[in-house]
Amino acid sequence: MDQYTHLGVYGILVKDNRILLVQKSRGPHKGKWDLPGGSIEFGEEPLFTLKRELLEETGIEEINAVIHSAPSYTLIHPFRKDQLEEMHHIGIIYKVSINNENYILKVSGDGHDSLGAKWFYKEEFNELEVTPFVEGIRGQIL
């Protein structure tokens, strides 16, 4: 079984007792809800990655961000056709505040990784089907 490490950067955006999530459009977690964020590109600073991913997936670009935590977990899943892989997922999580409320939320997909973004109240969030990464930190988010 192949093993690999995935390093991602994610943002927790909470406003008016609601959290912003994006719905995955591909991969083993297609259709599940996740924190906005994604992979660090070669040479990229983690904060730049966060800002790039937030803009791509949510339409939000003017932010302040503070590192919240860096959890990790391992997961065995069918990543490629009929082949199980073991992934070590490490996430750098930022608490994010929005500086400019004049944004247009991307409720439809970004054409790459997201089917769209949506704000959820705590009660809704607790009932959502989320990625294993979000499931592991669900209690720390709201």
Name the domain count of the chain. 1
Domain that holds residue 9: 2-141
Task: Provide the CATH number for the domain around residue 58.
Answer: 3.90.79.10
Q: Bridge partners of 139?
A: none
Phi, psi of 65, rounded to the nearest 5 degrees: -145, 140
Give pLDDT, residue 75. 86
Query: What are the strands, taking DSSP E only, across the chain?
Result: 2-15, 18-24, 33-34, 37-39, 63-69, 72-80, 83-98, 114-121
pLDDT number for residue 142: 72
Instruction: Judge residue 11's burial from the number of C-beta atoms within 10 Å of its C-beta, 0-12 exposed, 13-18 middle, 19 or more buried.
Output: buried
Ordered per-residue pLDDT tens for the chain, 142 residues: 889 899 999 999 999 999 999 999 988 788 999 999 999 999 999 999 999 999 999 999 999 999 999 999 898 877 666 788 898 999 999 999 999 888 889 988 767 788 999 999 999 999 999 999 999 898 888 7
What per-residue confidence (pLDDT) applies to 80? 66
